[in-house]
Structure 1
Amino acid sequence: MSLNLDQMAIREPLCHIVTPIGMLGYGFSTSDLENGLEIALRSGSPTAIILDSGSTDSGPAKLALGSMTCPRSVYQRDLRQLICAVKKYRVPLLISSAGGDGSDAHVKEFLDIIREILDAPDQG
């Protein structure tokens, strides 16, 4: 089936996905994230922040050793920025492959980090 130009006219999107970086833990620009969210939210379409935490192929070593791809401190930094954006813009946040491999231990570690951030006095 081919479409003519009228049929290919820009249509309202079903949703917007804002991805601040391809790999959580590698750092990103908060201003770029906020700019992307502001643009996406103007349409009124559902918007979410979605990113991966396992975009590197480190092979079976990470699973065997139980180590995360990045140090905990950089996940804390990135998650703190993301949680601030979630609160400010009232959008959901989805993260895949927590810690690089998505193992139960790393999902728990991410949940611990998120709880620590949310429990911090400056996060209200």
Structure 2
Amino acid sequence: SGFRYWIGTKNSNRYVDIDKGFKTDGVTLPRFTGFMRPVAPRWAYIKAVLVHDKLCKCQKVELDCFETGSDADFVNISQKEIDAEFYTALKALGMPKYKAWVFYKAVSAYQFSKALKQKLNKF
């Protein structure tokens, strides 16, 4: 079965479900972060990676509408918030704060360069 990740805090009203079998390339580290390789096994932080990859793919989160009795609704989530959730998830999984910060900055820089490249390609 997969798992549910609550955005912000556990049991908040926003979440993303990660289905079993969701595809990811795992922990991809930019060259400049090679010195930060985790001491834990490579897959120790896979849930954080899965959440980040799923949110980047869909750019939406579900709203838990239990209180209203309606079906779940979807709302957009910004790339900045997606990257911040990656940082939060890494820390929750036991990565030291300074390493999580480096990975957060690395994914933020990657997303910025990706967006810039897309804008430049439009010209």
Q: Normalization by structure 1: what TM-score?
A: 0.34
Higher alpha-carbon Rg: 1
Q: Normalization by structure 2: what TM-score?
A: 0.34
